[in-house]
């Protein structure tokens, strides 16, 4: 029987080194053996031969030892190179991970890291002064639909109003993304509340005022975006098809009520966005409702309830509509090569309690929006349009949504809004802007016979008296002036100069001039109109920009 010697497998490098060690050892043994076996009686001539062979073998041994030393040095260097490469790769991975986490932060300044969470501070200190040609008895948010006629003593009185109440603070909370999912939360508030007459009409005005407060979830795999909380309405124009929060196109002027024709509310909502591809997305939003009414001088012919005073959770001196369902908005957005386009539909429900029954009326409308950098980084163009019935709440002019019919039911008022805006970045420190907008309502009138008399109802009824609108009032005098607004129009021009920009922030000065005109429906005494000129001067300090 034959026995086979099993030799463990080695790496090629280890096998080569082993063979070389065996060869070196065998050579040394052969030398020793030759020396030991050489007979002492050999001829002297052979001694030189042996010495030569020994010298030759010693040279070979020395060469093999040098080769082995070189191989050991190479192995040591290779091990060091491998360890260095591993350390470099680990550092690169850690750097890439941190960079990926920081990509979620959209403001590189004023970021505080608490473990994996990034807290981004924002806001500004604002000092704005407004000079008005007529006394609006208001702050720096202009009540466009309340410009006084000569029948009010304030028509002939100018107004100067400085205010720092629009100063704002914000906090963005973001965490690292796992590659496909991310969550963030955002809060933004100011001091522009209006207690005790605060309300939820277009934006809550409770003190301190919450402008935005929401959480948002993003899933890139499914192209989904979910928002829950208070934010700008989905009806407000976006800059791109993303339709995510903080991507809205907001007029950059100094009037806190923005511009006539600008479509917006800030309300509690649940919004779901589906991104179909990089250019197209769709969204639906369920938003907190409120209804604005025009009741008219005559009460309905049957007992009717349309609002309730605020309870313990609201302003007790404000009235709140009998809401039955959220406002529902659906929008499609497109990003062609030349800019951004969007179209939306709005559905609303209005309710009144008539005698012992509830009556609900449907309203709503459609809208279009466009935004484009006409000259990239130099000139931006925005344009919006909306038309429908019962949409007054969504316009800056705050024209009424509905009117009350003689039988106590509600009738939505038809309205159209439009706005055009241009913002130019003239230099890195100078921006100029211009806006033109309008909001127009249609006559929605009714009459009824009661006790042999013809009673006028609705909005814009020609039987309403405008007789005293054009008469200059004396202090304390009250003149009859129903004056239902038919159209509001505005032109606003202005600019900003960033005169300081440093490590501690940016300081800018601004100037704006706006002209608003208010026109009314024909009534007894004609169709009076009035106007308002406003000059704003603003200083803002942005500590985080």
| CATH number for the domain that contains residue 130 | 2.40.160.10
Residues 62 and 107 in one domain: no
Judge whether 251 lies within some domain: yes
Judge whether 467 lies within some domain: yes
Please say whether the beta carbons of 60 and 31 come within 8 A. no
Judge whether 82 lies within some domain: no
Judge whether 77 lies within some domain: no
Residues 61 and 127 in one domain: no
Q: What pLDDT, on a 0 to 100 scale, did the predictor assign at position 87?
A: 79
Residues 114 and 22 in one domain: no
List the structure tokens of 165.
């109440």
Judge whether 410 lies within some domain: yes
**What is the distance between the alpha carbons of residues 490 and 237, in angstroms, rounded to a whole number?**
19
Residues 157 and 32 in one domain: no
Q: What kind and span of H or E run contains 186?
A: strand 181-190
Burial status of residue 278 (CB atoms within 10 A of its CB: 0-12, 13-18, 19 or more): exposed
Judge whether 91 lies within some domain: no
Residues 115 and 171 in one domain: yes
Residues 137 and 27 in one domain: no
Residues 414 and 285 in one domain: yes
Q: What pLDDT, on a 0 to 100 scale, did the predictor assign at position 142?
A: 97
Q: What pLDDT, on a 0 to 100 scale, did the predictor assign at position 59?
A: 82
- From first to last of its 545 residues, the chain has per-residue pLDDT tens of 444 434 344 444 444 455 444 454 555 555 444 444 544 444 445 566 777 778 888 888 888 888 888 888 778 888 788 878 787 777 777 666 555 555 444 444 667 776 788 999 999 999 999 999 999 999 999 999 999 999 999 999 999 999 999 999 999 999 887 889 999 999 999 999 887 788 899 998 888 899 999 999 999 999 999 999 999 999 999 999 999 999 999 999 999 999 999 999 999 999 999 999 999 999 999 999 999 999 999 999 999 999 999 877 777 778 999 999 999 999 999 999 999 999 999 999 999 999 999 999 999 999 999 999 999 999 999 999 999 999 999 999 999 999 999 999 999 999 999 999 999 999 999 999 999 999 999 999 999 999 999 999 999 999 999 999 999 999 999 899 999 999 999 999 999 999 999 989 999 999 999 999 999 999 999 999 999 999 999 999 999 88
Nearest to 106 by CA among 130, 91, 122: 122
Judge whether 364 lies within some domain: yes
Residues 206 and 330 in one domain: yes
Residue 52: half-sphere exposure toward Cβ, Cα within 13 Å: 5
Q: Is 365 helix (H, G, I), strand (E, B) or coil?
A: strand
Residues 182 and 284 in one domain: yes
Number of domains in the chain: 2
**Given CA atoms 204, 207, 209, 213 in this order, what sign does their dihedral have?**
negative
Omega prior to 196 cis, within 30 of 0: yes
**What is the distance between the alpha carbons of residues 319 and 268, in angstroms, rounded to a whole number?**
18
Task: Give the Cα-Cα-Cα angle 258, 226, 338 (nearest 5 degrees).
Answer: 55
How many H-runs (helices) and E-runs (strands) does the chain carry?
2, 26
Structural domain boundaries, residue 508: 101-542
398 to 116, 165, 330: CA distances (angstroms): 44, 22, 22
What b-and-e string marks burial along 160-187, b requiring 16 or more CB atoms within 10 Å of the CB?
ebebebbbbbbbbebebbeeeebebebb
Task: Give the Cα-Cα-Cα angle 372, 387, 409 (nearest 5 degrees).
Answer: 150
Residues 64 and 129 in one domain: no
Q: Is 183 helix (H, G, I), strand (E, B) or coil?
A: strand
Nearest to 450 by CA among 329, 300, 265: 300
Omega prior to 208 cis, within 30 of 0: yes
> What is the chain's Cα-based Rg?
40
Residues found in the chain: 545
Judge whether 1 lies within some domain: no
Residues 404 and 280 in one domain: yes
Residues 133 and 224 in one domain: yes
């Amino acid at each position: 029987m034959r026995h086979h010697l099993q030799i463990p497998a080695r790496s090629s490098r280890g096998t080569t080194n082993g063979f070389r060690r065996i060869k070196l050892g065998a050579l040394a043994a052969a030398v020793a053996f030759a020396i030991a076996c050489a007979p002492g009686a050999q001829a002297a001539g052979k001694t030189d031969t042996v010495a030569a062979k020994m010298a030759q073998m010693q040279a070979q041994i020395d060469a093999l030892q040098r080769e082995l030393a070189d191989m050991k040095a190479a192995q040591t260097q290779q091990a060091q190179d491998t360890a260095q490469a591993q350390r470099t790769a680990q550092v690169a991975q850690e750097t890439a991970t941190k960079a990926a986490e920081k990509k979620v932060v959209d403001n590189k300044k004023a970021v505080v890291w608490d473990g994996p969470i990034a807290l981004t501070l924002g806001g500004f200190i604002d000092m704005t002064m407004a000079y008005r040609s007529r006394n609006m008895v208001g702050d720096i948010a202009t009540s466009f639909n309340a410009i006084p006629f000569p029948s009010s003593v304030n028509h002939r009185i100018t107004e100067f109003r400085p205010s720092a109440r629009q100063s704002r603070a914000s906090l963005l909370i973001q965490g690292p993304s796992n590659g496909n999912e991310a969550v963030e939360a955002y809060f933004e508030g100011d001091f522009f509340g209006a207690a005790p007459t605060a309300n939820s009409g277009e934006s809550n005005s409770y003190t301190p005022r919450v402008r935005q407060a929401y959480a948002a979830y993003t899933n890139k795999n499914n192209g989904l975006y979910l928002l829950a909380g208070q934010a700008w309405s989905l009806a407000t124009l976006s800059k791109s098809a993303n339709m995510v929060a903080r991507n809205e196109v907001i007029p950059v002027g100094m009037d806190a009520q923005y511009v006539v024709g600008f479509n917006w509310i800030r309300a509690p909502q649940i919004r779901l966005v589906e991104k179909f591809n990089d250019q197209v997305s769709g969204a639906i939003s369920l938003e907190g409702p409120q209804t604005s009414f025009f009741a008219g001088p005559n009460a309905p012919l049957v007992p009717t309830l349309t609002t309730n005073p605020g309870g313990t959770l609201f302003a007790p001196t404000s009235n709140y509509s009998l809401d039955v369902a959220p406002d529902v908005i659906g929008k499609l957005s497109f990003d062609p090569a030349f800019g951004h386009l969007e179209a939306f539909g709005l559905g609303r429900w209005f309710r009144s309690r008539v005698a012992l029954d509830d009556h609900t009326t449907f309203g709503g409308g459609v809208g279009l929006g466009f935004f484009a950098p006409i000259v990239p980084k130099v000139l931006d163009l925005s344009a919006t349009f909306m038309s429908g019935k019962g949409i007054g709440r969504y316009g800056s002019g705050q024209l009424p949504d509905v009117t009350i019919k003689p039988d106590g039911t509600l009738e939505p008022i038809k309205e159209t809004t439009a706005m055009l805006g241009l913002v130019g970045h003239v230099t890195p420190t100078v921006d100029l802007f211009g806006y033109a907008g309008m909001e127009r309502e249609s006559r929605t009138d009714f009459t009824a016979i009661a006790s042999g008399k013809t009673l006028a109802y609705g909005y814009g009824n020609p039987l309403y008296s405008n007789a005293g609108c054009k008469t200059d009032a004396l202090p304390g005098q009250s003149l009859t002036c129903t004056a239902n607004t038919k159209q509001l129009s505005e032109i606003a021009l202005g600019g900003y100069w960033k005169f300081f920009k440093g490590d501690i922030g940016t300081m800018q000065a601004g100037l704006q001039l706006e002209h608003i005109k208010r026109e009314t429906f024909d009534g007894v005494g004609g169709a009076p109109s009035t106007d308002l000129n406003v000059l704003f001067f603003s200083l803002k300090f942005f500590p985080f920009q």
